[in-house]
Every structure is written in C-alpha cells, then in structure tokens.
C-alpha cells in the first residue's frame, strides 16, 4: 500500500495501478503453475539486455517513447470463455482495471471455433503504466456439429460460475463508487485471480472429455473445466529470433515457425512464437462418484516481438503479402515446410519498405512525434519551420514508431493450432459474426486503427502546443 493510500484509506486507486498489481500477481501465479515460464522469462531478459547493448539506437528509441520502462513488465495473457454471460461479466471485471475491448478477431475461418477481442488500456499514458492485455475468446457453440453434444456442452457451461461472489461484489462496488480503495483493490486482485487459476479437477467424465476433444481440443479445454485458466502468459522480447534459437538450450521445445511478418530491420506489427503445450494431470468426474486420472494438453508458453502499428494502407499491404505467401506455400506453415515457408515469406515482404522514413512518408505506419531540445531553442530564437516536414528536417521534432498493441488473427490461430495439435480442420466455413459477439459482450469493440490515429494526432498536437505553432498534420 502506498504512503498516500495509508494516509487516506478512502482514496480511490487508479485503474492503471490495479491493472499493474493484477499483472504482477498473474505472472507470479503462472510461474508457480508452469515453471518453464520462469525459464522463459530469464531467457527473454538475457536476450533483451543483449539487444539493448548491441543496438544503442534502439535503446534511445525506447527511452524516447517511454517503452524502456514497461519492457520487463510487459505481458499478455489469453483466456477462453464458454458463455455470453461469462464474456459480459469479464468485460466488467477488466473495466475495473481500465481495460477496454479492442478489435474483433474471427478465428473460425482458420479452424478454431472461437471469436475474440483484446482487453487492454487505450491511452498511451495508461499503456506506459501497465501494458497488460488479455486476448479473450468466446467459444462458438453453434460450430459444434453434433447437436446432442452441443446441447450437453451448453448445459455444462450454464451450470458453472467462474467468478467468486466477492469478486462480483467488488465489481459492483467499483461501478457504483467509480473505483476501489487500496484495500479493496488488493482484495479484488486476489479474488479476480481465482477465475484464472488452473484446476486439475475436470467437471466431466473421461468419456465426455474425449467426445469434446474429438470435436476440437479447444472445445474440451473450455467445457471440461471449472473456469478459464490462463493458457499462456507472454513476455515481450526485442529479438524473437534469438529467443527462438535459444529455447532448445534451455530445455524448451519451440514451435517450428515464428508467426507474423519475417525478420526486418524495422519490425512491424507482431511476431509470436511459443513452446509446445504441457501435458498436465487431470482428474475426471465419473458417474460412480469416483475420479479417473488422465491428462490435458492446452497451456503453453508464448513470446512476442512488437513492431510499429500499421495504417489501413499498411495493413492492406501486409495482408496482401501474407496471403500471397500462403498461396505459394500451399497454406499455413508446418514443421516439415518451415524453412521453405520462411524463405517465401521473406521474399514476398521485400515489397514492404523496411526503413522508418519510407514507412512514414508512404503513410504505411503510425508514429509518435516529440519536440527536441533544438526545437525548444529554435522557438526561443523564432527560427522554427512552419510545417511538420520542415521541423523534422531541422531536427526540431523527431518521430518514433508507435508500438502495435494488438494481435493478428492468422497468427493467433496458428499459435492455437500448433499447441492444440489439431490437424482436422482448416476452416469452419462460416463468416465472422461481430454483431453477435458484441451482443454477447454487451458493448461494441473499439477500433484499434482509430486508437493509433488518435495517439499519433495527440503527439502532433502536443508538439504544436510546445512550439507555439498552429496544428501540425
């Protein structure tokens, strides 16, 4: 508890601070549950320190943007929910931590029977305080083809309650009071953590688990357990290729292909890899009241490298090049064709500019703008250029890439599939249903591209104000 909170115990804690506390608690819990996660954190820390020492320009970029302070604490988690009621309440729980649903992701088209959003902070200042985000998927029960099994799954999910009574009380308290006190926030974090904890006791028999798993392993992962155990927690690295190469030496078995764009001098969007899912012991509930021992494979370790956020024009080019790669490679990458796929990917992405000035000039990516010391000095002398390009050329304003805070549906599906070991389905052949998702969520999802545009524009407005100029564009 802070000195300020101790002096005024009725003062409300900021949602950003509650989110930071929750992120730390989640990381500690997951490390206790999945020891390899601790090994992974140590490897990522070593790789990041080496990257900063090797690339002083990168270190300066991260200091300018403020990302250097969030690098070690950066995490994203992922959960899978079973019902609309769970999704709507989860939205309220994350709102206590200042996290909003951003983006809609259809994974059914890639053979994973869910659709998703990412809960995260939306303002750059809040993201610097804690960039914790949770990729949250909702099972699409209508995609279970066996009608009897579908209704059985629906009934099982309807009977469970994934939130503690006290967590629900504290959510209501936060909504009514506009926040939580320090003591309430501490209790909220502990109560909310229970929703994400791993429980080795299943809620179904071994036979029913096998039926669900035969439909899709992710369906079994959602339906057969007491709640949405966190199935991975992801640190951010500055050199994902070095982490991928270093995992086998730490006893970690990585997936064959890094998802996302190829290696670049100027990283774009998101690259992700993971270690293979763990086989964890499970006790199934049998009709005679006894328990049958078995295992479940779903939780894994993931690593990400975040690059610059792309504009609509940049995303269109990215999607075009990725689609061309998969057309040539004959679909998603697999272990046998990993090298050929990566070679094709790199070749196709030669069409995507790989320097920040070109990305900015061609309006392919978003940037943040900062006034320099030279700019403030020039203002005092009345020697400022009147437009953004002139200010940049004179060194009075500098720009830095705006980090991508979100996810990629194709990459997410690739990570899920590789860890669920499901080769039976390429697609459910059903279109995205954002309207149904938002109905279940109880709110619209925010447009991530609009958020990036707003952040870029805010930085330009701050530069204009600092330099005493009219609006910059």
39/29 Cα distance (integer angstroms):
15
CA distance 118 to 61: 26
Angle (CA) 442-445-446 rounded to 5° is 140
What does the pLDDT read at residue 352? Answer: 97
- Give the DSSP H or E segment for 295: strand 291-297
Two tokens, residue 383 = 């020697």
User: Structure tokens of 388?
Assistant: 């953004």
> Phi then psi for 280, rounded to 5 degrees?
-110, 140
Structure confidence by residue, pLDDT tens digits, 102-113: 999 988 877 788
Can you give the pLDDT at residue 403? 95
pLDDT of 356 higher than 80 = yes
What pLDDT, on a 0 to 100 scale, did the predictor assign at position 424?
A: 46
Which stretch of 86-100, 280-294, 357-371 has the lowest confidence by average pLDDT?
Answer: 280-294
Position 52 scores a pLDDT of 94
CB 120 within 8 A of CB 143: no
Q: Which long-range contacts link 22-27 to residues 24+ away (Cβ below 8 Å)?
A: 22/97, 22/132, 22/189, 22/192, 22/193, 23/73, 23/75, 23/130, 23/132, 24/73, 25/189, 25/190, 25/193, 26/75, 26/77, 26/132, 26/193, 26/196, 26/230, 26/233, 27/75, 27/233
Residue 426: is its pLDDT beyond 60? Answer: no
Q: Residues 6 or more apart from 54 whose CB is under 8 A from it? A: none
Q: The whole model's pTM is what?
A: 0.91
Strands 301-306 and 270-275, bridge-based pairing: antiparallel
pLDDT-derived band of residue 3, with 50, 70 and 90 as boundaries?
very low
Q: Is the pLDDT of residue 444 over 60?
A: yes
Q: Which of 21-25, 334-338, 407-411, 428-432 has the highest mean pLDDT?
A: 21-25
**What pLDDT is attached to residue 416?**
58
Lowest mean pLDDT of 241-255, 278-292, 379-393, name the range. Answer: 278-292
Among 83-92, 139-148, 162-171, 406-415, the range scoring the smallest mean pLDDT is 406-415
State pLDDT tens for residues 178-208: 999 999 999 999 999 999 999 889 999 999 9
């Amino acid at each position: 508890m802070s000195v300020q909170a101790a002096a005024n115990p009725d003062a409300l804690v900021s949602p950003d601070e509650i989110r930071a506390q929750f992120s730390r608690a989640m990381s500690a819990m997951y490390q206790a549950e999945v020891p390899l996660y601790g090994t992974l954190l140590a490897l990522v820390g070593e790789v990041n320190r080496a990257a900063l020492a090797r690339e002083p320009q990168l270190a300066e970029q991260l200091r300018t943007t403020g990302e250097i302070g969030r690098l070690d604490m950066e995490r994203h988690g992922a959960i899978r929910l079973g019902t609309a009621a769970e999704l709507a309440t989860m939205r309220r729980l994350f709102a206590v931590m200042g996290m909003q649903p951003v983006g809609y992701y259809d994974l059914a088209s890639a053979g994973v029977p869910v659709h998703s959003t990412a809960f995260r902070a939306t303002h750059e200042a809040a993201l610097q305080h804690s960039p914790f985000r949770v990729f949250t998927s909702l099972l699409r029960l209508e995609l279970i083809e066996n009608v009897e099994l579908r209704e059985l799954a629906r009934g099982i999910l309807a009977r469970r309650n994934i939130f503690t009574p006290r967590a629900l009380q504290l959510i209501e308290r936060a909504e009514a009071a506009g926040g939580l006190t320090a003591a309430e926030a501490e209790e909220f974090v502990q109560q909310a953590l229970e929703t994400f904890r791993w429980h080795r006791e299943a809620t179904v028999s071994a036979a029913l688990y096998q039926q669900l798993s035969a439909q899709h392993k992710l369906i079994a992962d959602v339906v057969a357990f007491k709640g949405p155990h966190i199935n991975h927690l992801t640190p951010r690295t500055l050199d994902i290729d070095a982490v991928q190469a270093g995992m086998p030496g730490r006893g970690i078995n990585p997936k064959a292909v890094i998802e996302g764009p190829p290696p670049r001098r100027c990283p774009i969007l998101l690259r992700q890899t993971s270690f293979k899912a763990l086989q964890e012991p499970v006790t199934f509930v049998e009709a005679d009241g006894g328990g049958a021992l078995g295992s479940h494979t779903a939780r894994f370790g993931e690593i990400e490298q975040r690059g610059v956020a792309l504009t609509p024009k940049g995303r269109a080019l990215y999607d075009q090049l990725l689609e061309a790669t998969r057309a040539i490679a004959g679909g998603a990458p697999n272990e046998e064709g990993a090298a050929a796929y990566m070679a094709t990917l790199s070749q196709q992405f030669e069409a995507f500019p790989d320097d920040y000035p070109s990305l900015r000039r061609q309006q392919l990516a978003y940037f943040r703008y900062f006034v320099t010391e030279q700019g403030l000095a020039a203002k005092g002398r009345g020697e400022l250029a009147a437009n953004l390009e002139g200010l940049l050329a004179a060194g009075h304003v500098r720009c830095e890439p705006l980090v991508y805070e979100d996810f990629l549906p194709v990459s997410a599906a690739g990570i899920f599939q590789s860890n669920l070991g499901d080769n039976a389905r390429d697609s459910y052949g059903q279109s995205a249903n954002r309207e149904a998702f938002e109905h279940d969520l109880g709110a619209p999802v925010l447009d991530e591209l609009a958020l990036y545009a707003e952040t870029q524009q805010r930085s330009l407005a701050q530069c204009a104000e600092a330099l005493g100029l009219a609006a910059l564009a």
